[in-house]
Structure 1
Amino acid sequence: MPSCFRLCSALLLTASGFFLTAVVYSAEQVTTCDGDASFDHRLNCEYGVISVQQALYGRSSSLICSEGRPPQQLANTQCARRDTVDDLRRRCNGKKSCEVITGDFRNPDPCVGTFKYLQTNFTCLPAITVVACEVSLAHLFCDEGQVISVFGADYGRRDRTTCSFKRPPGQIQNVQCLRPTDIVASRCDGKNKCTIPATNTVFGDPCVGTYKYLEVAYTCQYQPIENCYIGLSSALLLTATYFLLTAVSTDVDSKRATVEQATTCDSDPLNVHLLNCKHGVIRVQQALYGRSSSLVCSQGRPPQQLADTACAQEGALDSLKTRCNGKKTCVTNTAAFRNSDPCFGTFKYLQTNFTCVPAITVVACEGSLAQLCCDEGQVIFVLGADYGRRDQTTCAFRRPPGQVQNVECLRPTDLVATSCNGENNCTIKASNRVFGDPCGGTYKYLEVAYVCQYVIQTRKHERCRRGY
């Protein structure tokens, strides 16, 4: 009994720690009045992934979506289409954002003559996300004592940027073929680690001729500990269990974020230098273009090309910070650093040390406002900001193809940091007038990644309420 009590006490202390530090995820509600097939119902998580709690297509109130409607179209408040919540969960669970249209729910009509709406209640849950390109492997794993719980998984393609490197345009143009699947959950739930191939053999082929990928969102949960209830009240156990199941998965390891290192040997312009964060955003710590070791990138090279180990191009660190800070993924190549040769005759490499830090991300379409805000007593610190376009899906609704096809025009900017750092809340317009025009004729957007930091207050900040 004493050892069990100590173990349970440790669990309760762990839960108490999470109570003080864990993010509280409140329920969100989205309502879309019925109209025509183009009416968009969008669920979005600023951080975490979607978990649908309730969904209604029909009518449960005479007040919602009632403007301009005759009384007879509002009278039936007991109207609900069956399986709506299951449909929304299948389409949206485990995704950061999810778009459906009310037209998808009209067949069958649950109440002919009643004007209906689609209403969804959901929460944003912390999750680990994994993407595996077709024919590669998805590796899911948890720490010792934890098991996998899959929120959602999809196989196919929903954008033109993921898993697109060196792929011909015809293999990535179909972005309407992502298929939800429960195969990952059936194979991996309850296991400490799990490997699953992203192949048509496993998941079927939702779009022949398209190069596909597998997206998985999951969390790691502690397994219940048997015979550990002696001497503890039910309330304390429920508290411990709740926080162990929900707060642990917020990636406690982010508090002791490890340094990642990417190294790319110099060769030709096709050598890709990839920095990637599964969760959080990139923060570059160190960068070298040159040579500091005779062993790195040495295979097949004569000794004279490896002898200078004090070779470093000036400005490489600042260049990587400008290109990559605040992004989840950043791709460069060594050719971008060859303008000045720091050591002629030496075979060089690009090496970057970076960490993945938690951040709040904001996207504002051209002409709209980006609103950055922190709670009382905190101030904004911008990790990175870019204006332009780097994919064909963001801010693309009802835009002609010509306005979204240029995905090579995103320009890093320090204007957001200059305007917003140290402020409790900050609003900045996503416009060419503010940031210049990196690509004429393209419909652009502003991406910002920032954190809120506590400061010693010298004045009382106005409390900032996010309107999401």
Structure 2
Amino acid sequence: MPSCFKLSSALLLAAMCFLIAEVVSAEQMTTCDSDRFVVHRLNCDYGVINVQQALYGRSSSLVCSDGRPPQQLANTQCERQGTTDELSSRCNGKKTCVVNTDAFRNPDPCDGTFKYLQTNFTCLPAITVVACEESLAHLFCDVGQVISVYGADYGRRDRTTCTYKRPESQIQNVDCLRPTELVASRCNGENSCTVAARNNVFGDPCGGTYKYLEVAYTCVYPETAKTSSSTLYDYSHSMALSPKEWESMFHTAQLRAALLLATTCLLNTAVADYVDQVTTCDNNVWQVHRLYCDRGVINVTDSLYGRSNSLVCAEGKSNKRLANTTCSQQGTVDKVKTSCNGKKSCELGLSGFRTPDPCVGTFKYLQTNFTCLEAITVVTCEGSVAHLYCGMGRVIAIYGADYGRRDRTTCSYRRAPHGLKNITCLQPTDLVAQMCNGKFSCSVAASNAVFTDPCIGTYKYLEVSYACKSPKVSHQAVLQFGVDSI
């Protein structure tokens, strides 16, 4: 009887985690095809993208119908063939994927019908770490758990990651990301692990390009590490599978997947409590310090520019330059908090911390400890629809929302440079909170007609940060977050 009870409990936990994962990770993005440069953006707050179904055409007369005559909405059986396969090949296995609807217009599946691109996808569980070149990647798990690496790449695959004040020539090559097994060989089975993102560790896949290390991993219990590693290998090498093939793969290994997901689910409930750490060695004038939250938003707890340890960033340096371990720039933590708190990602240049020099002759680094506060973030490009939703018995509690633009990289796919130039026009808005607070689900159009235009001529986007709370505490949660955390 006791063993049966334990098994039932394990299966119940697995079932609950499947349910939680399904509710949390099921996503939908809808983009109205209003002009040739409209951007369709998929993003996983936590994990990596797995496209389930995609439609370019029209299956509903209500979606993307504002201002359209009835004859452009009447055909609800319009579908371009091959859309799901194309979205899967472009986006599966990535945290963020941006595509242009222009790629789906030829051939036109229904001339005269106003069309949209709508994608349903899930987010496979993963912890991701990105360390800019000359920084240190810190991987760690809770007590009693060990690291199991999905995969790692060193190089560059976009012009947005680790770009703070880098020359254009150093971020142009986006086809040089090189897979490496070195992180797995060093870190698998360890409770914590530190790896330097350097050419002398991984080799140089593209000389003259400023690179970064990307690592995806999970935390498992030692006795399941081997099984988990094998399963994650299957995940990482099966991203291009169709939804039916994915379903077949899971059905042939139900128990293994159930136990793995149950373990991952337990990890996910605690991930927001972890203190993450980023260390950047001050090797050159344009060095980039990058903080990032897989899920939620950044909350800096401590930051040091100087040196408190003779072993950190010590490679190739003389003992004299490492001896002073009481070197600290005043005001560093306040500066990092001001720049990064409340954001999903944040890039800082070390040049802002060097003057006055806190310890002349000592080789310094910037090291930041931070936590990721529980939050769901949604970024929706202008002309698309933001979908917010929560699990059964929970309602939306908006932390904040902004409409406009604060960088040149978000929602920038094939946009003209003049439409991305103004990065000081992000306008806070209470409208999303008024429309969505207290509801199970909510859809908001990212358009000037809804929010007015804070910067005419600039291509904008809507940023929303929210949590799912029980109805009784949703209001208090918003107040607590706003006062104590940002």
Deviations 1:239-281 (A, max 9, x none): 9777545564457155154333445677875555443445554
1:124 and 2:122 are equivalent in the alignment: yes
Q: 3-state SS of the aligned residue for 1:11? A: helix
- 1:453 deviates by 5.8
1:252 and 2:272 are equivalent in the alignment: no
1:332 and 2:348 are equivalent in the alignment: yes
Structure 1 unaligned blocks of 5 or more: 200-204, 225-237, 462-468
1:172 and 2:196 are equivalent in the alignment: no
1:299 to 319, 322, 327: 319
- 1:95 deviates by 3.6
Q: Which amino acid aligns with 1:325?
A: N
Preserved CA contact (<8 Å) 2:398 2:437: no
Distance in 2 (alpha carbons) for counterparts of 1:284 and 1:302: 26
Distance in 2 (alpha carbons) for counterparts of 1:4 and 1:356: 38
Aligned to 2:368: 352
Preserved CA contact (<8 Å) 1:30 1:43: yes
- 1:361 deviates by 1.9
Preserved CA contact (<8 Å) 1:25 1:123: no
**1:387–1:320 distance in 2 versus 1, CA, 3 Å:** farther
2:298 to 255, 258, 282: 282
Q: Over alpha carbons, which structure has the higher Rg?
A: 1
Distance in 2 (alpha carbons) for counterparts of 1:345 and 1:208: 30
Q: Which amino acid aligns with 1:255?
A: A
Distance in 1 (alpha carbons) for counterparts of 2:367 and 2:46: 29
Q: How does 1:25-36 map to 2 (within 5 A)?
A: 25=24, 28=27
Distance in 2 (alpha carbons) for counterparts of 1:137 and 1:144: 21
Preserved CA contact (<8 Å) 2:132 2:289: no
**1:16–1:117 distance in 2 versus 1, CA, 3 Å:** closer
Distance in 1 (alpha carbons) for counterparts of 2:429 and 2:71: 48
Aligned to 2:231: none
**1:281–1:302 distance in 2 versus 1, CA, 3 Å:** closer
Distance in 1 (alpha carbons) for counterparts of 2:12 and 2:332: 45
RMSD: 6.9
Preserved CA contact (<8 Å) 1:32 1:117: no
Preserved CA contact (<8 Å) 2:40 2:100: yes
**1:403–1:278 distance in 2 versus 1, CA, 3 Å:** same
Deviations 1:283-315 (A, max 9, x none): 212234566678877931497x56xx49672x4
Distance in 2 (alpha carbons) for counterparts of 1:19 and 1:51: 16
The sequence identity of aligned pairs, in percent, is 47
Structure 2 unaligned blocks of 5 or more: 190-194, 200-204, 229-252, 478-486
Larger relative helix fraction: 2
Preserved CA contact (<8 Å) 1:377 1:454: yes
Preserved CA contact (<8 Å) 2:130 2:212: yes
Aligned to 1:12: 11
Q: Which amino acid aligns with 2:122?
A: C
Q: 3-state SS of the aligned residue for 2:274? A: coil
Q: Which amino acid aligns with 2:319?
A: Q
How many equivalent residue pairs? 416
Q: 3-state SS of the aligned residue for 1:24? A: helix
Task: Specify which structure has the bigger relative contact order, considering alpha-carbon pairs within 8 angstroms and separated by 6 or more residues.
Answer: 2
Deviations 1:333-391 (A, max 9, x none): 55434556778999876543223444222447799999999888778585x99998664
Q: 3-state SS of the aligned residue for 1:392? A: coil
**1:404–1:90 distance in 2 versus 1, CA, 3 Å:** same
